[in-house]
Structures are given as C-alpha cells and as structure tokens.
C-alpha cells in the first residue's frame, strides 16, 4: 500500500530540525571554498550561493542524527557532498550549454566555459582533501564510487542525447547514476559516521537511491509544466538539448504517428520550435501522469526503507524530505 502523505512539512521546517548543523555546514563551506586564486573564489562562491535547496547536505545531516550520531564529522561530510554536487553543476552547464540556473545566469555564462570546468575540478579535489581529514576509509570508498558512477551517468546521458530510440530502461539507468547515486551516498555516509549496523546502512542507502530517483523524475516532468519564474531555468531546456526524458519517451510510445514524428524530430534536432505542441502532447498522452506515478512509487519505496530506523524527529525529517521530493513545484 502506498503511504498516505497527509500533512506536509515545508523544506524550511525540515531544515529547522538540524538548524545548528545546517549553519555549521555553511561555515565549513565558506572556509573551505577559499583559494589564493581569486577567480576560483569568485566562480565557486557564485555557484555555491546561487540559491540551491541544499537537499543533499540536509540528507546527510538528518541521516546521521537519525542514527544517533553525536559528533561533528557529519557537518564536514555534508559540505563534501555539496561540493561534489556543485562541481557536477558547473560541468553540466558547460556540457549542456545552459545559460540559466536557479533564476540566475549560469557560471559559464558569466565567467566562461574554461573557468567553470576548472573550478568544478577544484571543488572535486577540495572535497577529496576534506575526505582525507575524516580518516574514514569506508566513506572515501562510498564517495569515490559515487563520483565515478556520476561521471558514467553523464557520459551515458551524452550518448542518449538526440537519440529518439532511448528506452525507459536506459533513461532510468542514467538518472540512477547521475542523480540518485549522490543522494544514496549522502544517506549511507550518515549511517557510516554513526557506526550504524549494516542493515541500517543498507536501508539508508536504499532510501537515498529512491528519493534521488523520485527527485529527478519530478525535475524532468517540471520541464514541461512548471512556471518558468519559479522553476529558475528555461522551460523546455531538456527538449532544446535533445534529451529524451521519460515524459517524452512515454508520449512517443503512446502517441499517433504524427505526434511520434513531431517528438522524434525535436529530439533529433533540438530546439524549441514546437515546444507548445509537444508540451500539450506530453500532457494529453499521459507522459506527465506516468512520470508522476513512477516518482510516487520511488517515494513510497524510500519511505518503506526507513522502517528499521528508531522513531525520532530526524526520521520524521527524512520521511518529510521524501514527500517534498514529489510534491515540489520547482
């Protein structure tokens, strides 16, 4: 049976559960961002403080506290996860040629592609410097494996670009590597830092994987239905870049010959010439509803994975985060 979501906590209310930890993460980020090279400081600060939700570090903090962690290493771990995520954003925007993220110009639009790529490399390397100071080999292994999977996911997404024959299985494989894997790593690290038993560590890893998958599914659906101002990026960006996301894949499978050819042409050639027609087709053919159902299923599985954890406000925060992942509008 799916979970009944009932009352929702806002993201701000969830953050309040670990408010002191969250403030400590901000202090660590500011301190560890510093570089003697001025351009590194400028680009890294620009993207880090561009208004992101900070879901991944929040996940680390909640997971660690839910497992009874009483130290401070979870703060550094949360900052590490945020640095890795930010590095992927810098690289993604260059690869995708994006000009808008979170309602502002992308770093590559402001500073240029070379600076964005190189500062992304700086953030990756800084995160590994910080990992060494944690002196926890299992955490290094988790994050090393995660960053490698993310890179593979990026390459697979590049291979799928402009390919209208991309299957749902290939699409899911990409988002589980590219997005879900870092959520999984963050939740798992929270358990490792707390010396939680293996079954709790595995449960939190599954939770992270499912919530990360749900988050990306919703993100891809929002590209065809959100308000552009609140979304913080251009609507139809995925279509313009020739990315065959699930709403498009489903619509192609269930549309008329004319609709299939229209979507196929858009994926192969990119651009937004028929965005309005494709958006209507994706909605009317059930592409958005199907993607939402799949996201809901992933959220249900994330919630189920939390069952072995003791009942605490931090477990409740993890539950509410799963609900937020599918209920959000931007």
What per-residue confidence (pLDDT) applies to 219?
92
| Structure tokens that stand for 253 in this block | 């499978």
- The b/e string for 210-238 (b: 16+ C-beta within 10 A; e otherwise) is bbbbbbbbbbbbbbbbbeeeebbbebbbb
Beta strand spans in 187-247 (E) = none
Task: Identify the pLDDT of residue 5.
Answer: 42
d(CA 290, CA 170): 17
**Which overall architecture, per CATH, does domain 11-327 show?**
Orthogonal Bundle (1.10)
Pick out the chain residues at pLDDT < 70: 1-7, 226-234
pLDDT reported for residue 47: 85
Nearest to 247 by CA among 229, 235, 232: 235
pLDDT at residue number 271:
74
DSSP state of 6: -
pLDDT of 3: 39
Phi, psi angles (nearest 5°) of residue 319: -60, -45
Burial of 104 (0-12, 13-18, 19+ CB in 10 A): middle
Rounded to two decimals, what is the model's pTM?
A: 0.92
Nearest to 100 by CA among 221, 218, 241, 211: 241
Residue extents of the structural domains in the chain: 11-327
Q: Which of 179, 183, 185, 186 is nearest to 78 (CA)?
A: 186
pLDDT for residue 229: 53
Question: Which pair of structure tokens corresponds to residue 2?
Answer: 């799916």
Nearest to 67 by CA among 211, 177, 207: 207
């Amino acid at each position: 049976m799916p979970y009944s979501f009932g009352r929702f906590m806002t993201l701000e209310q969830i953050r309040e559960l670990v408010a002191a930890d969250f403030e400590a993460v901000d202090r660590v980020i500011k301190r560890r961002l510093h570089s003697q090279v001025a351009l590194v400081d400028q680009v890294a600060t620009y993207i880090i403080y561009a208004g992101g939700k900070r879901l991944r570090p929040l996940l680390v903090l909640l997971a660690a506290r839910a497992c009874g962690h009483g130290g401070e290493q979870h703060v550094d771990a949360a900052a590490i996860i945020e640095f890795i995520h930010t590095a992927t954003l810098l690289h993604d925007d260059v690869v995708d040629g994006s000009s808008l993220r979170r309602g502002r110009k992308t770093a590559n639009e402001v500073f240029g592609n070379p600076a964005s790529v190189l500062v992304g490399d700086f953030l990756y390397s800084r995160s590994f410097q910080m990992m060494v100071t944690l002196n926890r080999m299992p955490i290094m292994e988790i994050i090393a494996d995660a960053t490698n999977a993310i890179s593979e996911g990026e390459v697979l997404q590049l291979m799928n670009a402009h390919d209208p024959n991309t299957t749902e299985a290939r699409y899911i494989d990409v988002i589980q590597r590219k997005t879900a894997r870092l959520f999984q790593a963050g939740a798992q690290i929270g358990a490792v830092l707390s010396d939680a038993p293996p079954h709790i560590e595995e449960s939190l890893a599954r939770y992270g994987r499912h919530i990360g998958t749900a988050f990306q599914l919703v993100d891809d659906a929002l590209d065809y239905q959100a308000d552009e101002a609140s979304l913080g990026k251009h609507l139809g960006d995925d279509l313009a870049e020739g990315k065959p996301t699930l709403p498009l894949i489903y619509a192609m499978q269930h549309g008329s010959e004319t609709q299939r050819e229209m979507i196929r042409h858009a994926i192969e050639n990119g651009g937004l010439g028929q965005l309005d027609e494709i958006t209507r087709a994706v909605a009317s053919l059930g592409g958005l509803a199907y993607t939402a159902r799949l996201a809901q299923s992933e959220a249900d599985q994330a919630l189920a994975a939390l069952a072995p954890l003791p009942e605490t406000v931090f477990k409740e925060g993890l539950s509410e985060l799963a609900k937020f992942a599918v209920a959000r509008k931007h």
